[in-house]
Amino acid sequence: MNRARNRTRIPLRKRLLVRLLIASALIAVCSVAATAWLAVTTTTRALREEQGQALADDMDILAQLSGYAATHPDWTGVEATVRDLSARTGRRIALTTADRTPLADSAPRGTSLPPSAAATVDPLRTDTWSEPGAQLSGTDPRVVGPYRLTPLERTKLDAVARARQRCLSRYGIDTTVTHAPSGRPVVTATDSTTVSAYALDECGDGQLDTPAPTEEKALTALQGRAGGCLTRAGLDPDVPLMFTGLPGTSARTPTLAPVFAEAVDGIDRPGDGKAALRAAQTCFETARHAQLDPYVAPVAELFLGVGDDGAAPRWVMSPANKAKVIGAAGLVLAVTVAVTAVVATRLVRPLRALTEAAQQPPDRHARVPVTTRDETGILAEAFNDLAERRERLEAQRKALVSDVAHELRSPLTNIRGWLEVTRDGLVEPDTELLGALHEEALLLQRVIDDLRDLADADAGTLRLHREPVPADDLLAQVTAAHRVAADTAGVRLRTETEGAPWLDADPVRLRQALGNLVTNAVRHTPPDGTVTLTARGDGERVVLEVADTGTGIAAEDLPHVFERFWRAEKSRSRRTGGSGLGLPIVRQLTAAHGGTAQAESTPGTGSVFTLRLPAATAPGDG
């Protein structure tokens, strides 16, 4: 006893209550420290991110307004765009002319402007770093002007682009078709795969790179505008122009640019060729700006809110804030320890009760009081249920042993008695006596076989040899096997099948289960009664029914019909009421097939036993 008490003593450091207290204290300290550290770091980071977001918003505002200027000849109607950008970014946005004449302002009228403009909005001189896709010349790629294709030209070029796309797809190249601001389609690969030169030669018909009539007209006008400048530079004013994309620009936004194929011909002095080329480029850029100028809005100044002093964002914890953090940490720590102590005490108490109940002798089947409805209360209820099941199983085990002994004792007693009187010469061993002994041996063998089947089913070792079984053949076999016994008892056997259902089952075991039901039905059906076997499909199940017109089963006895050694009439012997193992075997065999068994009965009318088993596909239908 002392050893047992010593084993149940738990060192202080290992007790659940102490562990919970220590863990809670550590969690509280770490949580407060982490919260303070996160408050400092995340606030600083948030300030920096906000500053970066403000810069990104500024760049987006400039890009949006530059796009508006690139697609409109003046600033009329820009007020709605300015107010929308201001509402989305939370910044004040104002546009003015070069002499500070207001064009649009998100602030109320009369609000003074910031000291200096944040940027100049000029789509013909866009900062290449602030506007993605801007040309090397500084022109916003959204400025189209006279190069915008007509609807008919767009339709024709779209057809050419789709034809090239289909051609490239035959070489395993996935492409997409997008449109430049001018409306010209562009065929680009959807992934990083490089288009082979062979595919380009086979699919490149040159039509997508050839200027449309509208573009040709604009190029001719550009040629005329640049002619005087080229002549003054000593170059051929009729240098040819080609339609292509500028280096460094996105293939999705191609632009019009001059390519100087013959610009430097005849220049032999070192360095003069490059100078002439630069002069020619300057001439064409100047001419192109002059050509596009009527199609874009005038230059405007952009003002964005009120700038800060430029100092880096910082947040430093003051002594007052430090005192608040330390005080809050101490309060949280104290509350955590107190709450943990209360919760741990309530948690440990039912666990100790469970431990004491589990240490009681097995034959006492001790229970524990359920005082809570939390996890420990659920555990106590489960423990009590387990104890109750153990007690019930123990009672069933004792009853089973008694019933088995009784069932085996009767035939053995009869066999022994007849053998003893035969040995003493009191009875002659004639044919009638041997038949009676043989019948007793068969009864004994039947009880033993039933017990073995139940034992195999309980142990999970019952072997099933599944195969597709036609339900009508199964009912016919069972009926034929019990026809003689039914005729002897004056009972009619009938079978009914709806459709042609097939079962996924072991035919031998299934005949055994149905045979037990038929035997039971014939035994309890009076002469001139009827036992009907029915089979029908029900989705993924096949329903087998054995119905009789017998005496029926009382409502209070119906829940016990599948219990072992149970008989509705306690006065019945195994000769008149069976061994009490037939229906339990039916339930076990049905469960082994993955099905269910149930019974319904009306006293004085009859009983119906229903088996629901898995269906199978008829051979040849799959």
Residue numbers of the domain that contains 262 = 145-295
Structure tokens at 195: 């288009």
Amino acid at 415: I
Q: Are residues 454 and 467 in the same domain?
A: no
Q: How many domains does the chain have?
A: 3
The predicted structure's pLDDT at residue 580: 64
Among 275, 295, 315, which residue terminates a domain? 295
Which residues fall within 8 angstroms of residue 269, CB to CB, at 6 or more apart? none
Cα angle 285, 288, 293; round to 5? 125
Beta bridge partners of 469: 503
From the CB of residue 6, how many other CB atoms can be counted at a distance below 10 Å? 8
Please name the residues in contact with 353: beta carbons below 8 A apart, sequence gap of 6 or more. 368, 369, 380
> Which of 398, 431, 459 is the C-terminal boundary of a domain?
459
Considering the domain architecture, whether residues 489 and 574 belong to the same structural domain is answered as yes
Position 572 scores a pLDDT of: 41
Please check whether residues 496 and 419 belong to one and the same domain: no
pLDDT at residue number 545: 93
521 and 548 Cβ atoms separated by less than 8 Å: yes
Helical residues (DSSP H) of 253-374, grouped into ranges: 272-292, 319-358
Contact assessment for residue 413 and residue 420, using Cβ atoms and an 8 Å cutoff? no
Nearest to 547 by CA among 471, 605, 490, 497: 605
Please, which residues bridge with residue 119 across strands?
302
Whether residues 423 and 552 share a domain: the answer is no
Nearest-Å Rg of the Cα atoms of the chain is 49
- What residues of the chain score a pLDDT lower than 50? 1-8, 128-131, 133-136, 243-271, 307-315, 570-577
Q: In what order do the strands lie in the sheet with 119-121?
A: 102-105, 93-96, 300-304, 119-121
Tell me the CATH number at 607: 3.30.565.10
Q: Which helix (H) or strand (E) holds 478?
A: helix 471-481
Q: Which residue has the tokens 């004449």?
A: 101
Q: Answer with the one of 395, 429, 459 that is the final residue of a domain.
A: 459
Q: What is the C-alpha end-to-end distance of the chain, expressed in Å? A: 70
Distance CA 346, CA 24 (A): 16
Please give the pLDDT value at position 306: 53
Residue 261 lies in a domain: yes
Interatomic CA distance for residues 74 and 92, integer angstroms: 22
Structural domain includes residue 220: yes
Give the H or E element holding residue 384.
Answer: helix 375-423
pLDDT of residue 591: 87
Give the neighbor-by-neighbor strand order of the sheet with 606-614. Answer: 492-498, 530-538, 541-548, 606-614, 596-602
Cβ(433)–Cβ(418) under 8 Å? yes
Looking at the structure, do residues 159 and 226 belong to the same domain, yes or no? yes
